[in-house]
Amino acid sequence: MGPPVGLIMKTQYLKIEPDQADLIRKVAQCIEQGGIAAIPTETVYGLAARVRTDTLNRLDQVKQRPQEKRYTLHIGDKKDLLRYVPNPPAPARKLVNLAWPGPITIVFELNRANLENQEKKLGIEICQVLYQDSTIGIRCPDLPLCSEILKSTGISVVAPSANPSSHPPATTAQQAIDYFDGKIDLVIDGGKNVCSHKKSSAVVKFGATGIQVLREGVYSNEDIKRLTTVRILFVCTGNSCRSPIAEGLCQKILADKFGCTIDELSHFGYTIESAGLAAMEGLPASVEAEVVCREFGVSIEKHQSRQLIPHRLAESDFIFTMTSAHAKACSEMAGGLGERIKRLDQKGDISDPIGRGLPAYRNCAEQIQAALKERIDELI
């Protein structure tokens, strides 16, 4: 365990590369035993410390920061996310897949049941530190040396920026030494290719009120919106009845799930659209489809038909078709999209109600609604 911050100590300076396993293990052992190590990331230097109250009290003193300020968990592999967040929402999963490892911190809001399970799994002390206000902030750095150090510890590690409060973060080993010589255990010099961004990570929160960008950084607001928006596409033949009905019903189901309006779904990271393999552009939904949707509490009066083109498929995260033939046609058009293309109803095709009167449209809508409810867990 490292000494109290008030005592003068010798700060060790190590110049290491990602392939120097023995030195990486030495750094990891220092952190495991309660030491504080200044390690590089792709953004700025961080002060790596284990998640234990005694060590974090020392870290507070070193950084001269109030104890109530929270620390962000750092993980060496994005697969470790599920150890701390059992059920990340689909927009967060998309962000993790596209942006981790990378310069973005994600804050997750957990419900009471998940928090209780985390306490049983991780222990009360770790949870009290990491899950303040029912949320946890996590970062997965994109620097091989940093990742190897984090993976080698085998414990929960935080790594706030290496700077005393009110000072700019260190972006070189020398700056870290200048700040903390005699106050921390190690400073790691990873060479010229560390801290390439020289600015802090962006911070985005996923919670009950939707997605919030808490801080822009390497990623801008626009970048984060692009990386978190889950696009759901429904496909039929003419885009005049089945797929517009599916689009409208899906919007209502998700809005009800999140406790928001359909217009607010974008704040939760969702865009829902429809298209037709043989559609004419700009036509309204059929009268019967509009009538049936109103019966289900949805309006599709503003719908305008769109023809399915390859880039709409490529931009979509979930592609649901009305029939197996539609799914095959989408696969042939796009190629390589694999599991993204699925028939909406797993039990069978949803047949075209056109020309068969309102009862057929109602049956169609009921089948679509039932299929959507079975798939809802895939979408959130």
Active-site annotation holds for 242: yes
Q: Tell me the per-residue pLDDT of 133-176, one tens digit each, with 9 for 90 and over.
A: 999 999 999 999 999 999 999 999 999 999 998 899 999 999 99
**CA pair distance 48, 141, nearest whole angstrom:** 12
Mean pLDDT for 119-131 is 94
Mean pLDDT for 199-223 is 95
Mean pLDDT for 94-98 is 98
Number of helices (H), then strands (E), belonging to the chain: the values are 14, 14
Confidence of residue 8 (pLDDT cuts 50, 70, 90): very low
Active-site annotation holds for 352: yes
Mean pLDDT for 204-226 is 96
Out of 3.40.50.2300, 3.40.50.10470, 3.90.1580.10, 3.20.20.450, which CATH number does the structure's domain 229-373 have? 3.40.50.2300
**CA pair distance 68, 132, nearest whole angstrom:** 9
Mean pLDDT for 196-220 is 95
pLDDT for the residue numbered 2: 52
pLDDT for the residue numbered 96: 98
Q: Does residue 4 register a pLDDT over 80?
A: no
Q: Tell me the per-residue pLDDT of 177-192, one tens digit each, with 9 for 90 and over.
A: 999 999 999 999 999 8
What topology does CATH give the domain 12-226?
A: DHBP synthase (3.90.870)
pLDDT for the residue numbered 192: 87
Task: Provide the residue type at 332 as one letter.
Answer: E
CB-neighbour burial class of residue 113 (10 A; exposed 0-12, middle 13-18, buried 19+) = exposed
Residues forming beta bridges with residue 38, ordered by sequence position: 47, 187
Mean pLDDT for 70-82 is 96
**Which one of 80, 223, 349, 352 is the catalytic residue?**
352
Active-site annotation holds for 236: yes
Mean pLDDT for 82-110 is 97
**Site of tokens 């822009």:** 216
Mean pLDDT of the chain, nearest integer:
94
Locate the domains of the chain by residue range. 12-226, 229-373
Q: Kind and range of the H or E element at 188?
A: strand 186-189
| Cis ω for the linkage preceding 101 (within 30 of 0) | yes
- pLDDT over 90 for what percent of the chain? 91
Confidence of residue 69 (pLDDT cuts 50, 70, 90): confident
Confidence of residue 3 (pLDDT cuts 50, 70, 90): low
**Which one of 236, 250, 293, 364 is the catalytic residue?**
236
What is the CB neighbour count within 10 angstroms for residue 17?
13
**Which one of 242, 306, 312, 375 is the catalytic residue?**
242
Q: Tell me the per-residue pLDDT of 337-356, one tens digit each, with 9 for 90 and over.
A: 778 999 999 999 999 999 99
This prediction has a pTM of 0.92
Q: Tell me the per-residue pLDDT of 276-302, one tens digit each, with 9 for 90 and over.
A: 999 999 999 999 999 999 999 999 999
Mean pLDDT for 262-279 is 97
